[in-house]
Chains A and B, each alone.
Chain A
């Protein structure tokens, strides 16, 4: 399957520092491609460059095999961008917002009316179509925010953290919508700092930090990068400075990360050291609140690659 988008060596610097540092990736058609990283990793800057809103210091982008230079209308018409900020006219109705943004892509008449109806249905707002957006909840606004990027049936959707600050019901609705888009053949670029969402919908994942690629691949490929280590999570009832050194002395221990009174431990699978871990924790004089074996996920991948938690 040919890639719909290829990014080659994107770089961008600001006065405050390097935001994107020689980033390259390719996105297969009809997939959900996730950009995962903490705040300040360079995700939004990458999106802005892809949308031709920000000039690149370096790098090229190819859409469907053709290099994109400047702001070609054909390229922009093929993109649907959902910004992180809710960008809607609050005192207009949902329908009026959709009609306006659809008009910018040249849609008019019955075609526009049909597409608006489809977008309302997609966003689950058909029964609130003529209400002012100011009266919507946060989740409804986010759904409409997505709907406004869909009317012109883009081939590539770019969604910049579309689930920030909304209720779980709306969040699940949005994730289901993304799966529906993929099933209909639309390619989706999805940026987030929530690894649970990325684990749920991502076909290909690129983990980035400080503007650089840390790792790239499917979820299974990324998990395999951290090897077969066993992962444990131990929580005490209080912080104990210096206890991580004690854990390193436990046989088979490879990595210890501390966050307050919580310890994330990675240990060799061949060595049975659970008793030793518990004994070391008890020896600190503090009570063990919780101890569990953790299925490795993107959090652990990030931790392994950077030595710190995604949420730090």
Chain B
């Protein structure tokens, strides 16, 4: 446990000094929000603008894509060997894995803080108190997603393979959950897919928080479930991680 702060600092710095990671956490979501908001400009107007809707959808999507950060920070080509070298020292494998989850989450949260500030300055409505409740939800989801990414990369033992699986799965859930466009009205089958997509539930809670005056139960439940999921995924990652497979 003593090495954990050292490991987290190193992992976080490894991400911060990489322009690609920084852009992915800050510039990319802002550009996507701007672009999709622009494209759907005529669809919403009045008290609710297209940016208000698109921002929430894409921030939820970005939160679940935090898994890419943990896979990259662990087994990215140039980081894999020095990361695994840590195990030569008296460091518990659990600390090595936990540091990746914590560093990825902190890094993504830093990105989200930046994005939230920019969006608030531009007048995008993210809920009361500058979107604090919604931010809490995003933070918890980001933690769970980082842990999920770590588990998948321990199973697959390859960063690009893990990213492919995760991006595909999350992309499918995002499409069925209405992040990019709604499929609820395309018949009963599509409506069923939409109903059972986690993104639909998350969007519903988020929009109720922001536009219906709150959904504390939904928010607390999401955060609690995310924390439980994060612990479960981390445990699964520890069980799947065998040093001999990586040496």
Touch between chains A and B, by CB atoms below 8 Å:
yes
Binds B, one of A72-80, A165-173, A176-184, A203-211: A72-80
Contact call A87/B89, Cβ cutoff below 8 A: no
Separation of A164 and B3 alpha carbons in the complex (Å): 31
CB contacts (< 8 Å) of B85 on chain A: these are: 83, 87, 101, 148
Q: Is A91 an interface residue (CB 8 A)?
A: yes
Select the residue from A72, A88, A89, A149 with max chain B CB neighbours within 10 A: A89
Q: Is B164 an interface residue (CB 8 A)?
A: no
What is the distance, in angstroms, from B231's C-beta to the closest C-beta of chain A?
23
Contact call B90/A77, Cβ cutoff below 8 A: yes
CB contacts (< 8 Å) of A148 on chain B: these are: 85
Task: Answer whether A103 and B88 are a contact pair too, CB < 8 Å, given A83-B81, A90-B78.
Answer: no
Q: Is B79 an interface residue (CB 8 A)?
A: yes
Could you say which of B10, B14, B247 contacts A48, with CB atoms under 8 Å apart?
Answer: B247
Q: Is B36 an interface residue (CB 8 A)?
A: no
Q: Is A136 an interface residue (CB 8 A)?
A: no
Could you say which of B3, B18, B79, B92 contacts A103, with CB atoms under 8 Å apart?
Answer: B3
CB contacts (< 8 Å) of A51 on chain B: these are: 88
Contact call A100/B6, Cβ cutoff below 8 A: yes
CB contacts (< 8 Å) of B90 on chain A: these are: 71-74, 76-77, 104-105
CB contacts (< 8 Å) of A77 on chain B: these are: 89-90
CB contacts (< 8 Å) of B17 on chain A: these are: 91
Contact call A103/B6, Cβ cutoff below 8 A: yes
Task: Answer whether A87 and B247 are a contact pair too, CB < 8 Å, given A76-B90, A100-B6, A104-B89.
Answer: no
Interface residues of A, CB < 8 Å — how many? Answer: 30
Could you say which of A54, A73, A88, A91 contacts B244, with CB atoms under 8 Å apart?
Answer: A54
Provide the A90-105 mask, 1 if CB < 8 A to any CB of B, else 0: 1100000100110111
Contact call A101/B89, Cβ cutoff below 8 A: yes
Separation of A77 and B90 alpha carbons in the complex (Å): 6
Q: Which residue of A lies closest to B81 (CB)?
A: A87
Could you say which of B18, B82, B89, B92 contacts A88, with CB atoms under 8 Å apart?
Answer: B82
Contact call A86/B3, Cβ cutoff below 8 A: no
Task: Answer whether A48 and B244 are a contact pair too, CB < 8 Å, given A53-B87, A76-B90, A104-B3.
Answer: yes
Separation of A24 and B100 alpha carbons in the complex (Å): 38
Q: Is A106 an interface residue (CB 8 A)?
A: yes
Q: Is A185 an interface residue (CB 8 A)?
A: no
What is the distance, in angstroms, from A211's C-beta to the closest C-beta of chain B?
16
Select the residue from A51, A53, A81, A86 with max chain B CB neighbours within 10 A: A53
Separation of A90 and B247 alpha carbons in the complex (Å): 19
Could you say which of B6, B14, B81, B91 contacts A85, with CB atoms under 8 Å apart?
Answer: B81
CB contacts (< 8 Å) of B243 on chain A: these are: 53-54
Select the residue from B6, B90, B91, B243 with max chain A CB neighbours within 10 A: B90
Contact call A104/B79, Cβ cutoff below 8 A: no
Contact call A87/B82, Cβ cutoff below 8 A: yes
What is the distance, in angstroms, from A149's C-beta to the closest C-beta of chain B?
8
Provide the A120-140 mask, 1 if CB < 8 A to any CB of B, else 0: 000000000000000000000
List 4 tightest A-B contacts by C-beta distance, closest first: A73-B90, A104-B89, A87-B81, A87-B85
* Beyond A89-B78, A104-B89, 14 additional pairs, beta carbon < 8 A: A48-B244, A51-B88, A53-B243, A54-B243, A71-B92, A74-B90, A76-B90, A83-B81, A83-B88, A89-B10, A89-B79, A89-B82, A100-B10, A104-B6
> Which A residues fall within an 8 A CB radius of B?
48, 51, 53-55, 71-74, 76-77, 79, 81, 83, 85-91, 97, 100-101, 103-106, 148-149
